[in-house]
Structure 1
Amino acid sequence: MAANLTKQTHFDAIIIGAGACGLMCAVQAGFLGKRTLILEKNSRAGAKILISGGGRCNYTNLHTSHQQFVSANPHFSKSAFAQWTVEDTISFFEIYGISGQEKTLGQLFPQTNKAKDIVEVFTNLCTDLDQPIWLETEVKTIEQVKDGFQVTYERQGKVSQISAPSVVMATGGLPVQKLGATDFALRIARQFGLQVIKPMPALVPLTITGKEQAWYERLSGNSIFCRVWNDQISFEENILFTHWGLSGPAILQLSSYWRAGQEFYLDLLPAQNIIELVVKERTANPKKSLLTILAGLFTRKFAEALQIFLPVDKNLASLSKTDLETIQQIIHQFKVKPAGDKGYDKAEVMRGGVSTDELSSKTLEAKKVPGLFFGGECVDVTGWLGGYNFQWAWACGFVIAQNI
């Protein structure tokens, strides 16, 4: 089908993607008197925002700094966070009627607990600021031309072209395919000669296979507060046993620092010392079984499951030095070697992406391609679970808007 050249009002930038970064960019550009056009493949804006936080949207985290992000350049995000702070995010939403309520570990949710309220702030502002959002519009190609970029897209069955001095790639990452996720931003980066750090699922459940799988299946549904760690990082939050392995906040967090073939460890009782508890109880009740103690610390089901590792039926008086060493190791250094992860459709975000070496940290513009900007999840900056990735997206949108 031949492409038609669309008659248009001048746009300062074409934004690809109506997610957190793209929406914030359009609004902030509008505040500056700049005109943008958002092209969005989905039938609604903010599709991923709407499902975040179980539909409640943890839209920032009070503890945000560059230290909660995984990147080949851990300092890259500092400039964006200096330009758009957590306080800026809170103030922005409060102005438009959304007050935050703090939940676990600094996560901020709207008091209404409705993610759609976050999206409506942006869609209403885009209308007020005359920043159009074209839904169900799929971008086919982006080409550099004399005065900027020419974007070829398909909308309502017609292929057309539109031009602007700048293009903003805000298409997100590879999770979640049912929401239209693609590698389009990465393909565009490669097309223009930009390096891409290998993308992989992050904040993702981990799988256990082989002879150990049956043990995890048996415990499916059990949740335990743990310290989870490897040689890079440590998290203290809940883990969840599943029929295919491990999930829960602590596992999702660690997954961003895990690679296939690596091991990590669980401290199943991070606030107490199991040996001190056993020795103290042995003095008072030497005939009490180890199982009884473990059942008081964990669920009965979990305590019984530990019998393949520990002498749970022994009474405390009969525990040997070797038994105590084994108890110490299993409870405080339980080794896990996952087979893999559950993939992009179960991942919260993507790690990797457009290399930060290719972008200006101050503007997020491609150094080699003036006028081409990348922001949000498609960049090699991946936050922890709990609102950090939204703060990165808002900051990117603000920074880019200042420079288009």
Structure 2
Amino acid sequence: MVDAIIIGAGACGLMCAVQAGFLGKQVILLEKNDKAGAKILISGGGRCNYTNLFSSPANFISQNEHFSKSTFSQWTVEDSISFFEAYGIYGQEKTLGQLFPENNKAKDIVDVFTSLCDDLGQTIRLQADVKSVQRKEDGSFAVMYEHQGKSKTLEAPAVVIASGGLPVQKMGATDFGLRIAKEFGLKIVPTAPALVPLTVTGKDAEWFASLSGNSIFCRVSNERISFEENILFTHWGLSGPAILQISSYWRPGEWVELDLLPGRNILELIEQERQQNGKRSLLTLLAQLYTRKIADALAKYLPVDKNLASLSKADLQAVEQQIHYFRVKPAGDKGYDRAEVMRGGVDTSELSSKTLEAKKVPGLYFGGECVDVTGWLGGYNFQWAWASGFVIAQRI
């Protein structure tokens, strides 16, 4: 018997185990992979963007936008920073509040947790494939799993589901957390890939493919939200930070609008250039604003061979439309294997916002990605994982 069984040795599960250890509680982590923190290790290109200085509940998608407030009030960004600094990992801000280890790698973050688990006597059992979670008559839980070819059972008064979401299957991702929630009668918010590249097919596909590898700073918008970051053209559509961000808010069949010159006005630039040299061509001006490849690609839609002085009112309207209101209707997304996270999950109405315990099933907790709390790109989802792991550890 231990105080709790934690299923999943990812960001949430590892933090939960360590924080429980600080409180003198004994837990055992069951991890399907052959190493702890598998997704931590590949995050941020092996650097691990482990939190965001500007993280707040406003940076998260959920059917209940207020649900995460209690969790984030109990474990703040400052708590994350202090925790890692205590073990020699100091943050360096990159872009938009994204905090990376200054002189360390993702492996060093995982090592902090595995070393602390050793020091605190917490057991991490790798290659442990959990088959079922059952509640006993006395209210405790029996967890059946396979390990080294043998079926085994553990019992505990509490179980923490920190098994992540559906991305990425090659990293061992499954729908385990969702299945367990359903088995215990909990509602699930429909899931979908989030922070994921978008595909373009049909008559426009060749145009996007011709720009593959080109990046440009944009404002990307839909009816719900907008982001200003780089986009990346690919041979199958669009990627890059701004596209990944908008993808969490995009739904099939909707348009996405690109402002290819945010913060500036193309018509004002044209007028300024006209005053200086009206004989210059529109293509020459575009080549100053973008790479030549992008300028040439825009030629498909614009009268680029005309000189600036001869542009008609209709020409100017076309230029403004294509530069500031470029519209694309994605065909779909690249799926869970290219997604950073999963949107949707265990319905927050089924959980206590203060403890993350299932209201219908005392002793059963859900944290991290399997819960319907999905962060923006840039360290937000790690902050949710650390915070939810901490909150659960206080109760188990």
Same fold (TM over 0.5): yes
How far the C-alpha of 1:283 sits from its partner, in A, is 1.8
Q: Does 1:220 align with 2:217?
A: no
Q: How many residues of Structure 1 are paired with residues of Structure 2 in the alignment?
A: 395
Cα deviation code 1:209-267 (max 9, x no counterpart): 01100000000000000000111111000000000000000000000000000001000
Cα deviation code 1:75-126 (max 9, x no counterpart): 1100000000000000001111111111100011111240000000000000
Tell me the distance in 2 between the aligned counterparts of 1:299 and 1:348: 29
Correspondent of 2:55 among 43, 64, 79: 64
SS of corresponding position for 1:50: helix
Cα deviation code 1:342-365 (max 9, x no counterpart): 000000000000000000000000
Tell me the distance in 2 between the aligned counterparts of 1:210 and 1:326: 22
Correspondent of 2:242 among 250, 253, 259: 250
Contact 1:203 1:252 in 2 (8 A): yes
Stretches (4+) displaced over 3 A: none
**Which position in structure 2 is the counterpart of 1:200?**
192
TM-score, normalised relative to structure 1: 0.97
SS of corresponding position for 1:226: strand
Q: Does 1:81 align with 2:72?
A: yes
**Which position in structure 1 is the counterpart of 2:262?**
270
How far the C-alpha of 1:284 sits from its partner, in A, is 1.4
How far the C-alpha of 1:317 sits from its partner, in A, is 1.2
Alignment of 1:5-404 (within 5 A): 10-145=1-136, 146-404=138-396
How far the C-alpha of 1:147 sits from its partner, in A, is 3.8
Specify the code of the residue in structure 2 equivalent to 1:128: D
Tell me the distance in 1 between the aligned counterparts of 2:263 and 2:111: 43
Specify the code of the residue in structure 2 equivalent to 1:222: N
SS of corresponding position for 1:171: coil
How far the C-alpha of 1:163 sits from its partner, in A, is 0.5
Contact 1:206 1:247 in 2 (8 A): yes
Contact 2:2 2:28 in 1 (8 A): yes
Specify the code of the residue in structure 2 equivalent to 1:333: Y
Cα deviation code 1:364-398 (max 9, x no counterpart): 00000000000000000000000000000000000
How far the C-alpha of 1:271 sits from its partner, in A, is 2.1
SS of corresponding position for 1:105: coil
Identity of aligned residues (%): 72
Cα deviation code 1:64-83 (max 9, x no counterpart): 00000000011110000000
Contact 1:147 1:164 in 2 (8 A): no
Tell me the distance in 2 between the aligned counterparts of 1:45 and 1:88: 22
Tell me the distance in 1 between the aligned counterparts of 2:119 and 2:253: 52
Cα deviation code 1:183-206 (max 9, x no counterpart): 000000000000001110000000
RMSD between aligned residues: 0.6
Tell me the distance in 2 between the aligned counterparts of 1:102 and 1:218: 34
Specify the code of the residue in structure 1 equivalent to 2:5: I
Contact 1:57 1:113 in 2 (8 A): no
Structure 1 gaps, min length 5 = 1-9
Contact 2:89 2:104 in 1 (8 A): no
Contact 1:270 1:332 in 2 (8 A): yes
Tell me the distance in 2 between the aligned counterparts of 1:47 and 1:73: 29
How far the C-alpha of 1:318 sits from its partner, in A, is 1.1
